[in-house]
Amino acid sequence: MKEYIFEVEDGEFQRLDMYLVRRFSEEGGALSRARLQKLIHDGQVLLNDAPVKAHHKIKAYDKIKVIIKDGPEHKLKAQDIPLEIIYEDDDVILINKQRGLIVHPGAGNPDGTLVNALLFHCRNLSSIDPNRPGIVHRLDKDTAGIMVIAKNDAAHMSLSRQFAAHSIKRIYIALVLGRVEFDEGAIDLPIGRHPFNREKMSVNFKDEAREALTRYKVLKRYKEFTYLSLMPQTGRTHQLRVHMASLGHPILGDVIYGRKHKAAEGLKEKLNLALYAKYLGFIHPATGKFMEFEHSLPEDMQDILDNANKQ
């Protein structure tokens, strides 16, 4: 069992769960909001020695105790699911996640996830969040690309600190509807839950929305779509998809934030989400050396570019 004690600083006034998400991220623990909300619900978070609700507003000098019991809440299955491993050593694994693969078990998805595949490949994974062993960051189910996995708690904490400090370099490639006007720019708009559809995210300015920053650079403009790189400076849920849609340039194949379209001649009616995590650079937790990894585009995205170049 582990216990964490936090004292709220002067000037803090926000929801308990949001405060703890930030504090654990700063400390290198990186517990998800859903995980913290469950701990609060189960009475494992005490505010001034008393249980409270997740939405309780904290104030200066409040004392918060978080109790994390040993062992996973549910037994996770090891499953023989194919993985494309880019690199592996005693501390980290780099994989090229395929589209359609959910990162970790959750409601409605108890198995068949990346975590289940990792447990089959390597039983030594970080245990900071026992329900998501090894997972330091996520990619959406429909987003493919490079992910780094932590094989021990020291590596997990090091990588979490780097993500919290926004020092990890990430580059995504996207094909977006329409012709993006400026060659490069930044989208600095907060993201929170959609006010009417809680399964979606949206740009909004409510209290629970969190700052989100995305930089972009146009690589090439085509007749009906733009080929560009996206550099997220923060890591909000669906950040790149929401930000591009907010500019009026949704990512091709995005059935949640986009709209039905035929982006270019020769494209299939049902297009996969044209978003790919192509590059990842970070400081290795054990060696202290900067490492960088890059992978070629998925075949379907490359085919779109090749066909457009022939027109």
What local confidence, expressed as pLDDT, does residue 260 receive? 58
Tokens representing 26?
């700063």
**Class at the top of the CATH hierarchy for domain 2-68:** alpha beta
Q: Where in the chain is the domain with CATH 3.10.290.10?
A: 2-68
Whole-number Å distance between alpha carbons of 136 and 142 = 18
- The whole-number pLDDT of residue 3 equals 84
Closest C-alpha to 307, from 252, 269, 267, 251: 267
Q: Which of 17, 129, 140, 254 is catalytic?
A: 140
pTM: 0.78
CATH architecture of 85-163: 2-Layer Sandwich (3.30)
pLDDT tens, position by position, for the chain (311 residues)?
778 899 988 777 788 888 888 888 776 566 777 778 888 988 889 989 888 888 888 988 899 999 887 654 557 889 999 999 999 999 999 999 999 999 988 777 778 999 999 999 987 899 888 888 999 999 989 999 999 999 998 999 899 889 888 899 999 999 999 999 999 999 999 998 888 887 789 998 887 788 999 999 999 999 999 999 999 999 888 999 999 999 999 999 998 898 655 554 445 445 789 999 999 999 999 999 999 999 999 999 999 999 998 87
The segment(s) of the chain belonging to CATH 3.30.2350.10 are 85-163, 169-281+290-310
Tokens 């023989």 belong to residue: 80
* Residue found by looking up tokens 């934030």 in the block: 257
- Residue 305 CB contacts under 8 Å (≥ 6 apart), including other chains: 175, 227, 297
pLDDT at 17: 86
Q: How many other CB atoms are there within 10 angstroms of residue 271's CB atom?
A: 20
Q: Which CATH number fits domain 169-281+290-310: 2.60.450.10, 3.30.2350.10, 3.20.20.70, 1.20.140.10?
A: 3.30.2350.10
In the chain, the amino acid numbered 287 is T
- Catalytic annotation present for 140: yes
